[in-house]
Structures are given as C-alpha cells and as structure tokens.
Structure 1
Amino acid sequence: MRHRIHALDSFFYTSMGIYEFQSQCEMLSDLGYDGITVSAWGGTPHTDLSLLPQVKASHGIDVSALYLVLHEGRNDRALEAIIEQVEGVGLLELAVQTSVNGAPGILRFIERILPVVEQRGLRVALYPHLHHVTQTTSQVVQICERFRHPFLGASFNAYHWYGTQEGRLERRLKAMKPWLMQVVTSGSALSRLGWGGIATMEPPDRGELDNFALVAALDRLGYTGSIGVLGWDYGGDVYLKLERSLRTMHDISRRLERHRAWGLLPLK
C-alpha cells in the first residue's frame, strides 16, 4: 500500500529564518509530495491563512491539515476565530499545550467548537504532544470516547509516541483505530540532546525509531490515509532533507508491497 506523503511546514523553520509559504509549496510540489500541514500555533499564524484555498490549484498539493495549539483559558477565542473562518482545509490538528481550568476547561472548549466544525464540514484530530497537557495517545483516545462525535478524532504522531515511551505500538494503534484521522512520523533516538531533552527529530531513515515497522503496522491496521513527515531540528539544506525523507517513505512502501512478512515483528 503506497501512502500519500505530506510534510509539516516545520521543515521550513530553520535557524536562519523561515521560508516563504510560496517557496514551501513550490519545493514540495517539485519533489512530488502530496500535501503540506500548515501551522497556526497559538492563533497567530506565520502563514497568511487566506492563501490556503489557492494551494491545490497553484501547486497541485493538498493542505493536509492546519495545526493549532490550545492554551486553554488564554487563546480560546483566537483559535475559535480561525475555526470559524478558515477555508481551504478539511482537517484541524489540535494540540493542548497548557490549561488554566484543567480537564473541564479543555472539554468545554472542544464542546464549543464541535458544532462549528460540523456545520463547516471540518474535522478535528486531537494531537498527542510531548510536554503538553495531552501528550499520550491514551489521553486523546479518552477524550474521543467521551464525545463519540463523528467529526472528532485523533492523530498518531510516532515521534511523540516514541518520546513518551508509551510502547505497545500495535495496541496503541488498535485503540486509536476508531478515531484515527492522521499519522505523522520522523526518525528519532532517545537522547538528552533531542527536543525537550527527550528525543531527537531526524529524517525517517535515521535514529532508533523503526519507520518500516511503523508503516507495516499501519497497513495491518487498515490505515489508508496520508503520512506526514516532521522536520524541525534538521538545519542545513531543507530541500535535500525533504528529498531524502520522501525517498525513504516511498522505499518503505515498495518494500512492504513485495515483502509483507518482513513487517510482522513482535513489537513491544
């Protein structure tokens, strides 16, 4: 099964600056990526969100998701305004970094946005993230089960799953299956030199996280959606890192098409 592959715009945030959105889209299109996830962070996006509806026609790639970060009790209204107005995207990935009012406040925020999401034909995927209030797959699954809303689901981020050391990949994916809307990965190794002093974020053919085993597990699960590739601590020539990452993900798919049994591992 050859998955569509998209890149997160974090690839283009370098120590020397941030590439213009036009250049981001042109690079991804030139390399053969299928889409891009755009970050709006805490409600003040670097990218002009009015450009999103033009991406497909101008560059031939999808806006795979819009990534939002909730600081509950602080930026609720800013995120609600984006959700009410944004065009050109169908999936919102929502990470919850901090909260003033705890779990009840987070649940109230989700409850408020769900009618808007449904009315606008959007979907919301809760995004587990290291050092955030919701940092494990188990936490976001609990929220999904609490609402059981068809427009609310979850993203699986292999980097953050690996960094939190949840383990039990097959079990975690099966628990997420009813809610799984998006998948993201990277290469990674547990290291104090990595992001947050926990894990490195590398191209998908590097580190200790086995992306071949991950994609094989996703195929067994029946996941047919796009797989995103993270890019943050890369530095250097962004285009070359993107090229290498896409080649790796396509090579994984080709190997699995020929050798399904290779992906059958006694995963922890």
Structure 2
Amino acid sequence: MRRMSLIISVLLLGMCVISQSLRTDLSDNNFAAWQENRGDWIEVGETHLNPDDPQLLTTSPGTGVFVNGATGRTRHLVSKQKWGDMRLFIEFMVPENSNSGVYFMGRYEIQIRDSYQKESHYPGNECGGIYQRWDENREPKGFEGISPQIDAARPAGQWQWFEAVFRAPRFDASGTKISNARFEKIYHNGFLIHENVEITGPTRASLYDDEQATGPLLLQGDHGPVAYRTIRVAPADVNPFFAMDTGTRDERHQTFQQQVEMLKRLGYDGMDHTGVDDVAEHLFHLDQNGLRLFAVYLDVWADREKQWANEGLEKAIEQLKGRDVVLWVPIRSHDYTASDSAGDAAAVKIVQKIADLAAASGLDVALYPHSFFLMEKIGDALRIARKTDRANVGVTFNLCHWLRTDNSDLKETLTNAAPFLQVVTINGADQEGDWQQLIQPLDGGEFDVAQVVRILADIDYSGPIGLQGYGIGGDVNENLKRSMQAWQKLNMHP
C-alpha cells in the first residue's frame, strides 16, 4: 500500500528514511549537504557562457549556483545523505561541447550534454538520455543506453531542468534483488522524455559497481564545465501539487509571467490553463521557471443535434504534444439537465472526438464534473467515461463540486473512481454552503481535507493534485502561501 507519509523506513524494499519536509534543498548553505572532498567546485551567484571561449563558463560572486571549477576537470560532487526512492528537481547549464551527469544512488545516470541540434553516436548519449552500461568482456562494450522520447535540449549556455521520479531496486530478506531500479518519469524542460524505464544495473562510470537499497546523489565533475542550481529532493510518493488559474490572478499578478514566478517562489509544481488561447506563451513561462502545465480546461457542449468544443483545440493539442498534460473536459448542454443520462449519447460523441485528437499527441482526457452542468457528479463522469471506451479517458475528483452536488460516502466515491482517476482538486471548505463556504484557502473551513489525502494514499493514487481557488478573492500570494503551508502539513501528518 502506497503511503504519502514522509516517514518511510522499509529498507528491505529499497526505501529510505526521509526527513519530515516535502523537499530537501541541496543547493544552499555553501555545500553543507555535500561531502567535503569536492575538488575545485565553487559556489557562485551567476554563470554565463564565456564570451571569449564558448566552451567555458564565466561566473559572478554570490550563492546558489555550483560550478565545477575553471576547466571542469575535477572531482564529482557527492551528497552526504543517501536515498532510495526519490523525486529530484535540478537545473543545469553546460557550455559548448561539454557534458556531465546526474547519478541517482551514485549508480544510475541521466546524461547532461550539449546535444542541441547534434547527432548522438549511441543511445543514451543525448541530453536527457539514460546513459549506457559498460562491460569490457562483451561487444559492443556499451549497452542498454536509452535515448529520450523527445529531444528537449536547449542551446549551450541556457539553463535547463530535469524532474525525475526514481524507484530504487528492491531486495528480499536475503539481500537478493527482486526488482530493478526504475525511472518512473523523467521530464526535461517540460517534456516527458522517459516513463517506466528499468535499469538492470549501474551505468558506466558510476561510483559503485554493486546495487544497494540506498545511495547518494552524484553530480559528475570531470567531463567538462557545468553549473547546477535549484537541487531539490522530495519523497517519490508525494503527489505533484499545482495551482489552478482560478486562484492565481489579482491586481499584482495579471500576466502569465507574474503568476508563474509567484508559484515558483512559493513552491508549487505548476498550474493549469483555461481555454486554448495563448497556450504557447503560458508554456514558455512555465518552461523558463522549471514548472509544468498539468491541465488545460476546455469548454465542451453536448446538445441533442450538435456537440462542440473550443475553436482552436486541434492547434492547442499539437502545442501540447509530449507534455504529459491532461485535457479537462466539463460537459454542458442546452437540451439536457444536470445528471440526465439521456444526454450520455451526445456527451460520448464529443468526448470520443476529443479523446482521439488527444491520443494522436499522447495526451489524456479527464472528465471534469461541475455543479449545474450536464456532467455534474463524479458518478456521471464515470458512467460517460465507461461508455466512451477510450483508453486515454479518465475522470477528475473535484472536492468543491462533490460537496455541492453529492457529499456522499467519500471513501466509497474515491475507491469507485480509482481505476479512472487522473486528477484530483482540493481546497479548504465547510461541510455545506455556497461557493464562499465551499472554496477557501487550504487551511480554511471545517471540512477535514486530510481524509482526502489519506484515502488517496490508500487507493494508490499517484497523480497530480490541484488547488482550487475560484472566487476566494483578496491577495492571491497570501492565499497560495497559506495553502502551500497547509499542503506541507497534510503530507507530514495526513
């Protein structure tokens, strides 16, 4: 059974004890988190391409950025702490023709390389590749390197980022390995480049030849200049937490850039997008700040004679290709009332059309139950999802709409939805009332949101959780700050 609690101690299963914090920051305090024998690594404030030699980096004084010396030929940076399962976010920069690597447990490498618009000589040598293993006694000696599904590399001298969910190898009581290490997901600059990739053993040039339940994080330091910043480790089983754009805008946060920068500062994993206009602009600002777009909220109608969705949807879907973004589909109707199953046939037609368009770009569709709409309750969404009969169609559980329209047995509701559940949205709330009572910052209201978190853990839900902020008003920065603090408490003590 998956647990969202941050105290995990099943070492025989390859998991380690993680401190009671959602994130461990490894990129501050003058290398405090790293072993002392660091060679020429230095901490600086900024770094750029050297204008006289683009194969080198220049630096400015300050803190927060780690650089492996003037030439990039030094020792590796190795963390003091050891992990098994983990979620890692890391930003990096390489100059021309340089490379480095991030080794999980000191053994399993994601390649970092200046590979923008360059051919790779073998699989896994691209930026974002899972680097090859090596055996001197076989031909070819290098094997099992895995190229990224999408080439998301940026030019030399630009900051880039990875977000990776890693699963350690598992061992039985006798120490025999019973399952391989695995990269559950790897994102590179906003694109999903690997999913459920097993690694049968340590990759080339790893710190260790054997496999264990835990190990340190290693940043390669001897293959050329590289800079790292914003290095954060979190438990692998904490759900990604994003803010819905219903609660990110006020007088001081009007633009995408202002909203995204605020969310990054507060520690959110990303946000959603309403409609299909300006998707590319929103993606740009998210990518620049190391955040993800989790969902796009559509306007979908199912009448008796006609069904339709947003004009421009096909273009938006093409822009989202490879992004691991869910299309949120609420369903309204002029002809059918809320929860009227007579409208199912019309609803199924438009959902199938959207699902087929989405599938061509590798996207999923999550039906979005909404009060007073045709598809009002999560039971309506489940019924329509089953009738749609598309592998990429699931449902969303929206706490505020469930409280408004259903408010039945919560555990039964989520358990029944589990096979189709793709997204969950939560917020602070009272047990009943109007939207002012049913949508509050996450620390507000009398409803026990912790029970939602506990049930989601019990049903092994590992997908994203969004924060609903519709109609709260006031200072969005303060609302979001309070909600993030409440989210951290929920995950430490669900």
Cα distance, 1:255 vs. partner?
0.8
Larger radius of gyration: 2
Residue 250 (structure 1) shift: 1.1
Q: TM-score normalised to the size of structure 1?
A: 0.84
Q: Is the 8 A contact 1:170 1:217 kept in 2?
A: yes
Distance in 2 separating the partners of 1:168 and 1:69 = 29
Out of 69, 92, 110, the residue aligned to residue 351 of structure 2 is 110
- Report the alpha carbon displacement of residue 76 of structure 1 after superposing the two structures with TM: 2.8
Q: Determine the structure 1 residue equivalent to 2:472.
A: 234
The CA distance in 2 between the partners of 1:181 and 1:17, in whole Å, is 32
Give the aligned residue type for 2:366: A
Aligned length: 246
Distance 1:176 1:74 in 2: 26
Unaligned runs of 5+ in 2: 5-237, 337-342
Mapped to 1, the partners of 2:310 and 2:463 lie a distance apart of 31
Superimposed CA distance per residue, residues 2-41 of structure 1 (whole angstroms, 9 cap, x where no aligned partner): 3221000111345x6972111110100011100101111x
2:258 is aligned with what amino acid?
S
- Note closer, same or farther for the CA distance 1:243–1:213 as it changes in structure 2 (3 Å cut): same
Sequence identity percentage: 25
* Preserved CA contact (<8 Å) 1:162 1:209: no
Per the alignment, residue 219 of structure 1 pairs with 457
**Equivalent residue letter for 1:191:** G
SS in 2 for 1:217: helix
CA distance in 2 between counterparts of 1:120 and 1:227 reads: 23
- CA RMSD after TM alignment: 2.2
Match in the other structure for 1:262: none
Of 23, 33, 36, the residue aligned with 2:268 is 33
CA distance in 1, matches of 2:252, 2:262: 16
Aligned to 1:70: 300
- Contact kept? 2:368, 2:395, Cα under 8 Å: yes
Report the counterpart of residue 263 of structure 1 in structure 2: none
Q: 1:207 deviation in Å?
A: 1.4
Please list, as runs of the form range in 1=range in 2, the aligned pairs for 1:90-239 lying within 5 A after superposition. 90-100=325-335, 102-189=343-430, 190-192=432-434, 194=435, 199-239=437-477
Which structure ranks higher in relative contact order (CA pairs < 8 Å, sequence separation ≥ 6)?
1
Shift of 1:232: 1.8
How far does the alpha carbon of each residue in 1:104-163 deviate from its partner, in whole angstroms, 9 at most, with x for none? 222111122222111110100001111111010100001111133221001111111111
State the secondary structure of the residue aligned to 2:456.
helix
Q: Distance in 2 between matches of 1:79 and 1:166?
A: 36
Contact 1:136 1:164 in 2 (8 A): yes
Q: Which residue of 2 aligns with 1:260?
A: none
Higher helix share: 1
The offset of 1:80, in angstroms, is 4.0
| TM-score (norm. length: structure 2) | 0.47
Check 1:224–1:252 CA distance in 2 against 1; reply closer, same or farther (3 A cut).
Answer: same
Segments of structure 1 that go 5 or more residues without pairing to the other structure are 257-268
